[in-house]
Amino acid sequence: MLKVLAIAGVFVATGAMVSAGASVWEPSPARQAELYNLVVQDCGSCHGLTMKGGLGSALLPKNLEGKDAEVLVEIVLDGLPGTPMPPWRSQFQNGEARWIIDQLKKGLPQ
Amino acid sequence: MNGIFKSFFLAIITFVAFSLASWAQAAEALRATGDMGIIVERATGSVKIIETSGRTELRRVEGFGDLSHASAVYSRDERYAFVFGRDGGLTKLDILTGKIVGRVIQAGNSIGGAISQDGSLVAVSNYKPGGVKVFDSKTLELVADIPAIAEDGTRSKTIGLVDVPGQKFVFSLYDGGETWIADFSESRTPKITKFKNIGELPYDALVTDDGRYYIAGLFGEDGLALLDLWHTEKGITRILDGYGRGEEKLPVYKMPHLEGWAKAGDRLFLPAIGHHEVLIVDQRTWKEVGRIPVHGQPVFVVARPDGRQVWVNFAHPRNDTLQVIDVPSGKIIKTFKPGKAILHMEFTPRGEQVWVSVRDANRVDVYDTRTFKRLAEIPAQKPSGIFLAARAHRTGL
């Protein structure tokens, strides 16, 4: 539990340091912890818990570098037809996908 | 009594006393592994060694690397587990002592493995670089490297790797849409037989427990690719083509797993893709004979060893639920919610218990499969796969 809180804490802290050009909106700390778990555990089933890739592409900062955040958000929300990447639109509130992309671009706390 | 004689006598006494003590200790420590197994803790790169007679945890072992998508097979003496990690790690664990006795990082990204019929070879299915590598099960030395280059020249991820009788491994090319047989019966340089155009994006495969039929599920189309290993000259047959015809596909938030062939009599139970259904196939005709609407996108569809029940878990976001199908009636007889993110179910060899990993509750539950009563809970960090040592004696697992 402590570890989860600590991770959520780091997430909140790094979230607060979002640079200009990234999303300014932030999910609540509780929701951030939920999203963090979802990204690591559920996205991680295909992309790897450490985001090094698997059936799905690697999602480390170096892999996402130079890629338009809005295009990545669209992939998250609408999926990639013809591949196993499903549309996550029904799973996220407004802005959450963008927040996730920003976290991935910065690198998840390990 | 002279001095030499006396010390000789003392030495004998001491020797006997020590022998007796260590014999007693060894007798106490002697244990077989038939009721043992491991639970993968996916986020911490660790496993728990458990036993199913008293339903207890024996020890926890760390040092397996990235176990995001991990599975294990067992040596034929049921002593060693070969654990396949996401990061290409192949780790040999002595489940009696809890010691890691061998470990190699054999690729950049892996998905699972298999052990040969005679137990001498361990094969690993790799995403990066795409292909299969085969190791000596004693030493973990590389025996064969099989790059998966599809007909069009591209290197493919490999999936659905299983062992089959005749010292062979079978696997499929995810990107390339092919199925290959690697035959090690004549030498350690395998003879490869390839089947092309099996269908779009085979995502996983299974083999019937007699080792005869290999079936690859297709993500890219509604249907499965069947290979009769007793009659490979007939090639690939497509079965259940267009099973979802006319229905809109639902998003699949987790890929189904075809390990654990749910077979009951002549009927096979398979997860549909993009439909919240379990498909029933008659193995004599390979035709669909029914489908059962279920709670969500099925992930594992596994039969209790006696074949009378089939247990189903589901993909995110409906992954807090388990359903039990009564095979004779084809009806769901039990729906229950053990907790968030149920990732895997493993039956004891005779099926009286099922072990269920509840990832987000950090717990593994043990249920009585007759009364559905919870018999025990074992704490585990983000548990995923559960692999019992009895798998050692089952083809394809």
Residue A55 lies in a domain: yes
Residue A22 lies in a domain: no
> Is A66 part of any domain?
yes
Q: Does A15 touch chain B (CB under 8 A)?
A: no
In a domain, A36, yes or no: yes
Chain B residues touching residue A80 (CB < 8 angstroms): none
Residue A91 lies in a domain: yes
Residue A79's pLDDT is 95
pLDDT tens string A54-66: 999 999 999 999 9
Residues near B221 by beta carbon (within 8 Å), at least 6 away in sequence: B199, B200, B241
**What pTM does this model have?**
0.89
Q: What is the CATH number of the domain that holds A66?
A: 1.10.760.10
Rounded to a whole number of angstroms, the distance between the first and last alpha carbons of chain B is: 67
Domains of chain B with bracketed CATH: 106-254 (2.130.10.10)
Strand duo B287-293 + B298-303: pairing: unpaired
Give burial (CB, 10 Å; 0-12/13-18/19+) of A75: middle
Quick check: A50 contacting B, CB < 8 Å? yes
Number of compact structural domains in chain A: 1
Is A23 inside any structural domain?
Answer: no
Chain B interface test: which of A3, A34, A41, A60 (most B C-beta within 10 Å): A41
DSSP 8-class letter at A38: I
Among B15-24, B175-184, B212-221, the minimum mean pLDDT is found in: B15-24
Decide if B68 and A42 are in contact by the 8 Å CB cutoff: no
- Strand B298-303 with B309-314, pairing: antiparallel
Contacts of the segment B376-380: beta carbons below 8 A, 24+ positions apart: B376/B55, B376/B56, B378/B39, B378/B48, B378/B50, B378/B55, B378/B56, B378/B57, B379/B57, B380/B39, B380/B41, B380/B48
Interchain CB distance below 8 Å, A52 and B87: yes
Q: Which residues of B touch A (CB under 8 A)?
A: 42-43, 66-69, 86-87, 109, 111, 127-128, 157, 174, 201, 203, 219-220, 251-255, 316-317, 341, 359-360, 382
* ipTM of the complex model: 0.81
Is the model's pLDDT at B21 over the cut of 70?
Answer: no
In three-state secondary structure terms, B75 is coil
Q: Which residues in chain B are contacts of A82 at CB distance < 8 A?
A: 220
Q: What is the mean pLDDT of residues B219-241?
A: 95
User: Could you tell me the residue range of the domain that residue A56 belongs to?
Assistant: 2-17+28-106
pLDDT over 70, % of chain A: 77
Per-residue pLDDT at B188 exceeds 70? yes
d(CA B256, CA B262): 13
Judged against a pLDDT cut of 70, whether residue B16 lies above it is answered with no
Residue A19 pLDDT grade (very low, low, confident, very high; cuts 50, 70, 90): very low
Split at pLDDT 50, 70, 90, the class of A109 is confident
Contacts of B54 (CB under 8 A, 6+ apart): none
